[in-house]
Amino acid sequence: MAKKKLFSRFGRKNKRIDDVVNSAKNFQFIKDIPGLSSDKVGGLTEKLRRLFRGMQKRCQDPEQKQQLKRKAALLITALFFCGSLYGLVKITGIGKISRELVSRIEYFHIKEIKIEGYHVATEQEIKRASGVGYTTSMLTLDEQEVARRIADMGWIEQAEVKTRFPDKLLITVKEYQPTALIALGDEKVRDLYYISSKGMPFSKIKPGDGLDYPVVTGLGSIEEIESAEELKKDIFTFLKQVGRNDPRLPIQSISEIHVNEEHQLVVYLVDHSFPIYMGKGDMYQKYWDLLRVLGVLYKKHQDDFEKVASIKMDYYGDKALVSLKD
C-alpha cells in the first residue's frame, strides 16, 4: 500500500519530481559536506528529470508514459536519499559511494562522442584531452570541466560540451587562426610559436608545420608579451590590419616584425631590405599612412625603390620620412 502511494505521489505529476529536485538542492544534511554537495545532488536529479521528460514526449503509449514517470520518481528519490544518508551520518566516503553507484548505471554510459570544428587538432587528441571515455557516466559528467581541459590544448581557442541524453556527447571546438610566427628564447636557443590574430602565442612549431608567415622577433618570453599591454595592442592592431591583404602591403610581403628594446615595431619586407620604423602606439593610423607612402613609391618612384634606406612612420607627429641611400 505504501509503495502504491509513493507511485501516486511522484508518478502522476511532473511537479512532484520538481519538488524532489528542489528538496535535493536545499537539503541541509548534505550542504557544504565534502564529497557530495547539495549542488551535485541537485545537478544529478535535474539531469534525470530532463532525461525522463524527454523520453515521455517521445512516448505515445499512455501506459508507458506512466511507467516512465514512476521510474523517474524512484530513481530520483533513491539518489536523494543516498545523499541524505551521507549527510546524516557524516561518514567520509559514503557520498563518493553513492556517486559511484549512480555512475555504474550502464544505460547512462557514453556510447557516442561527436566532435566538430577541428582542422589542425585531431579527433583522437581532443578525446584524449577531454578525459572522457566510453565508461564515463552522463549523470556525473561535468561539461564545464571537460570544456576547460580541451581549451588547454595548444590549437583550441574555445570548446563547448553538450550532453544528449541518455548516451551521446557533442564537443564543438574553435581553433586559433595563426597570423604570424614569434621567436622566443635567448640568443643560444630560440623556439618558434604560432601567434594568433590577438597577438598572443598559442602553439610551438613542430616539424612539418607551415612557416609561411611573418616572424615577430626581439622578445624573450611569453611573459614579456603578457606584461606589456601597449606592445600587445600594437602587434595585434598591425597584424589585424595587414590581414586585410591590401595589394600595397599584403601579409605575404612582410618578412619580419622586430620589437626593439623600447618596444617599438620595425617592419621588414620580403622583397626589400630597408626597415620601416612604425614606432609605438597609434598603429591603426600608421598602417593607413604606410599604405599611402607605399602607393606613391610603387606608382611614381618605382625605380627609386632600390635607393630607399628606410621609412620612418614616427618621424614627427603624423608625418612620414622616406630616407634614400647616398
Min mean pLDDT across 112-121, 288-297, 302-311 is at 302-311
140 — pLDDT class (breaks 50, 70, 90): confident
- Residue 300, classed as helix, strand or coil, is helix
Min mean pLDDT across 48-57, 230-239, 247-256 is at 48-57
> In the prediction, which pLDDT does 20 show?
43
Q: What is the pLDDT of residues 85-101, one digit of tens each?
A: 444 434 444 455 556 66
Min mean pLDDT across 35-44, 47-56, 66-75, 274-283 is at 35-44
> In the prediction, which pLDDT does 288 show?
94
The per-type count for the chain, helices as H runs and strands as E runs, is 10, 12
Per the model's pLDDT, the better-predicted residue between 202 and 28 turns out to be 202
Q: Provide CB contacts within 8 A for 150, sequence distance 6+.
A: 126, 129, 130, 156, 159, 161, 171, 173
> In the prediction, which pLDDT does 198 show?
75
Q: Provide CB contacts within 8 A for 47, sequence distance 6+.
A: 138, 139, 163, 165
Q: What is the mean pLDDT of residues 146-165?
A: 92
Q: Per-residue pLDDT for 57 more than 80?
A: no
Identity (one letter) of the amino acid at 137? S
Q: What is the pLDDT of residues 16-34, one digit of tens each?
A: 444 444 444 444 333 333 3
> In the prediction, which pLDDT does 82 show?
52
Which residue reads 505521489 in cell numbers? 9
Q: Per-residue pLDDT for 158 more than 90?
A: yes
**CB neighbours (10 Å) of residue 214?**
24
Please name the fold of domain 107-175.
Ubiquitin-like (UB roll) (3.10.20)
Share of the chain above pLDDT 70, in %: 67
CA 288 to chain centre: 32
Locate the domains of the chain by residue range: 2-103, 107-175, 178-324
Per the model's pLDDT, the better-predicted residue between 13 and 295 turns out to be 295
User: Which helix (H) or strand (E) covers residue 234, if one does?
Assistant: helix 229-242
Burial 97-128 (b: 16+ CB within 10 A, else e): ebbeebbeeeebbbeebebeebebbeeebbbe
**Which listed CATH number (3.10.129.10, 3.40.390.10, 3.40.50.11690, 1.10.10.10) goes with 178-324?**
3.40.50.11690
> In the prediction, which pLDDT does 56 show?
58
Q: What is the mean pLDDT of residues 173-179?
A: 92
Q: What is the pLDDT of residues 280-303, one digit of tens each?
A: 989 999 999 999 999 888 887 667
